[in-house]
Structure 1
Amino acid sequence: MAAPSSPQRLRPVNRTMRLATPRTILALILREMSSTHGKSPGGYLWMVLEPALGIALLSAIFSLGFRSPRLGTNFPIFYATGLLPFMMYTDISNKMSQAVNYSKALLAYPRVTFLDTLLARFILSALTQLLVGALLFTLILSIWDTRTVLLMDRLMLSYAMAMAFGAGVGTLNCFLVTMFPLWQRAWGILTRPLFLISGPIFLFETLPEWAKEILWWNPLMHVTGEMRGAFYLQYEADYVSPAFVFMVSAICGVMGLIFLRQYHRDMLER
């Protein structure tokens, strides 16, 4: 009769299982990097050029009609503080919403789960946008005398809110887009004016009272306000509520995970 396996023989197996998910996520990140930007000339360079050109275009257009932006004296830093956190949200939410569709073939393997695909896309998108933001903010502050003082804690809080909201919306949309393909078009139509109502080109305080009461419920207004407060000492942004943003993000994320867990097998057959 064979002797029972000793605890020492089981430890390597447990260790292998514990490390499977991090290895899977890393492999998915490397796959994403090579397929998304690695095969196109200047793919990673365009990640920096796109927001840089957007900031330059906004600065050029509004400088023709105004002597100074709504806050401070420098147009590039004003629009960068609105555009970059908005891009963080949109990139994370868009990438995560397609996580299952993008990796359907890999999800047939037992070691790859929908959570792995979501985490891989979130990590890569967040790190990429943080790098883009760091490069552009450093470039702007080096070229112009923006007369701003950077408060790193507020900057990181703004980015944290953008990442959380992007992850929450992206997780919920991952289920909706995969189960109901028409939702992707409907969502694109519904969110088309999102840039205009999220604060990148205006200040919340300059709006009429009725508009403030409506737009306060847009989490991205809080993200933009906190980012502006990170650079402009005179701008307090009293309306910003991080708790509200994180609460909405958590609700969306938890709902998305519940639906994905319940229906992920049905989603793979579509």
Structure 2
Amino acid sequence: MITGMDNTFQHAFKVQQRVIWALMLRESKTLFGKHKLGYLWAVIQAAFQISVFWVIREVAGVQAPHGMSTPVFLLGGFVPWFIFSNGITNGMNAINGNRALLTYPQVSPLDLLMARTLLQGAMQTLVLVVLLIASCAMGQEVSIETPHVILAALLLALILGLGGGMICSAFNLIWPATEQLVPMLLRILFFTSGLFFSMVDLPASVQGILSLNPLTHVIEMMRQGFVSGYGEQFISVIYAFSFSLSILTIGLLLERYARRYLDRLI
């Protein structure tokens, strides 16, 4: 009996893996296939935004803390942000944008959400590697002292994006006005999560407020992976991990609840 249940579970898991992989391939063609530059377009977009803030910091004469080079400092902020924000925006529209696929019994709303989030995580990790190599080629100092910390930060950003995407997707099915509110919330987080500034440079009162944002801990953790000891007084791994799992759990519950509203789409 137990062996039969194990075989059924393994079969279902393999089917879901194949479905998610197929959806990721489909999404990659949709997102990047229409551009002549293909996947390079993601690198160009990230490089452009980082370059803008790099120039601003250079003009203002602001140096990155702990001897970190400015490109690496900005990469440590923007890459987790891209994974998080793209996970939310793409997850929020995953069901509306793929409603025809839900007619297939093998495809569930959760598959659509996971495929989009995993694709963004993979793409932004590739962006990180490419831009770090480019920074080295430009003569910038790049050191990776604790790679496992970087990987942990990327994973937490992915979980936050997936959980947030599930929550926004559920609310978007129940309350369509969510699609207009989420970009405004993300804009606030863009300027308050530490993408282009360090917690070290802020007053203690502001540090206390911003430390409530789990993404700030993820970004500071990411930078700590490049320079050991960076921001360790502001980083709470337990808080970031607990918050990420809580968001993911709430997202999973809401995703199941919101399935009753799928009849509006299919």
Which residue pairs with 1:267 in the alignment?
A: 262
Residues 1:190 and 2:185 aligned together: yes
Paired with 1:13 and 1:208, the residues of 2 have a C-alpha distance of: 56
Moved more, 31-40 or 67-76: 67-76
The sequence identity of aligned pairs, in percent, is 28
Q: What is the number of equivalent residue pairs in this alignment?
A: 260
**Partner of residue 133 from structure 2, selected from 129, 135, 138:** 138
TM-score (norm 2): 0.89
Matched letter for residue 149 of structure 2: R
Q: Evaluate the alpha carbon distance shift between residue 171 and residue 60 of structure 1 in structure 2; reply closer, same or farther with a 3 A threshold.
A: same
**Partner of residue 82 from structure 2, selected from 87, 97, 103:** 87
Paired with 1:194 and 1:14, the residues of 2 have a C-alpha distance of: 40
Q: Evaluate the alpha carbon distance shift between residue 262 and residue 65 of structure 1 in structure 2; reply closer, same or farther with a 3 A threshold.
A: closer
Paired with 2:260 and 2:99, the residues of 1 have a C-alpha distance of: 11
Q: Evaluate the alpha carbon distance shift between residue 229 and residue 95 of structure 1 in structure 2; reply closer, same or farther with a 3 A threshold.
A: same
Residues 1:38 and 2:19 aligned together: no
Residues 1:253 and 2:240 aligned together: no
Which residue pairs with 2:103 in the alignment?
A: 108
Residues 1:153 and 2:148 aligned together: yes
**1:77: how far off?**
1.8
Matched letter for residue 89 of structure 2: N
**1:259: how far off?**
2.2
Matched letter for residue 259 of structure 2: H
**1:138: how far off?**
2.0
Moved more, 226-235 or 162-171: 226-235
Matched letter for residue 40 of structure 1: H
Matched letter for residue 164 of structure 2: V
**1:103: how far off?**
1.6
Please list every run of 5 or more consecutive structure 2 residues that lacks an aligned counterpart in the other structure: 1-6
**Partner of residue 117 from structure 1, selected from 112, 117, 130:** 112
Residues 57-96 of structure 1 deviation map (CA, whole Å, 9 limit, x = unaligned): 2111211121633442632222122212211211222222
Contact 2:76–2:222 under 8 Å retained in 1: yes
Matched letter for residue 250 of structure 2: M
Which residue pairs with 1:210 in the alignment?
A: 205
Residues 118-146 of structure 1 deviation map (CA, whole Å, 9 limit, x = unaligned): 22112211111111111111221332242
Which residue pairs with 1:7 in the alignment?
A: none
Matched letter for residue 260 of structure 1: E
**1:234: how far off?**
4.7
CA-based RMSD: 2.3
Which residue pairs with 2:167 in the alignment?
A: 172
Residues 1:54 and 2:70 aligned together: no
Residues 155-197 of structure 1 deviation map (CA, whole Å, 9 limit, x = unaligned): 1121111111111111111101222110111121122121211
**1:16: how far off?**
6.1
**1:109: how far off?**
2.1
Paired with 1:269 and 1:259, the residues of 2 have a C-alpha distance of: 17
TM-score (norm 1): 0.87
Three-state SS of the structure 2 residue aligned to 1:43 is coil
Q: Evaluate the alpha carbon distance shift between residue 176 and residue 153 of structure 1 in structure 2; reply closer, same or farther with a 3 A threshold.
A: same
Paired with 2:247 and 2:213, the residues of 1 have a C-alpha distance of: 14
